[in-house]
Amino acid sequence: MTRHDPLGSLEDMLRYAQDALEIAEGWPLEAQEADRWRTFALVHCVELIGEAASRVPATFRESHPGIPFGEAIGMRNRLIHAYDSIDMAVVWAVVRNELPPLVAALREILEGRRD
């Protein structure tokens, strides 16, 4: 199994969460069917957050219970394996409600590691 740098994976999670928030900015859920490329980009960002989360070692995940690693990984798995039944309202709720606190928590960890 390939070992990944936990801080690099956290940075990836942060970058993709910020990208997802930028994509969703000012874009109502009702408009998602009319803009498939933007929808694909948003879903892909959420997938990548989960993929990066899965690369963080379990010991690090366990020592940072405020980061929803398990939920991010589960969401990624659902989006990848049940791609034909994605509920955009759920994705939308995750982006709008879960990503802002995730971004804040990741920034706090990363800033603390850089000091």
- Whether 114 is catalytic: no
User: 3-class SS at 45?
Assistant: helix
Annotated catalytic residue within 3, 36, 81, 114: 81
Question: CA 100 to CA 14: how far, in whole Å?
Answer: 10
- Whether 4 is catalytic: no
Question: CA 73 to CA 71: how far, in whole Å?
Answer: 5
Annotated catalytic residue within 76, 78, 96, 114: 76
Catalytic residue IDs: 76, 81
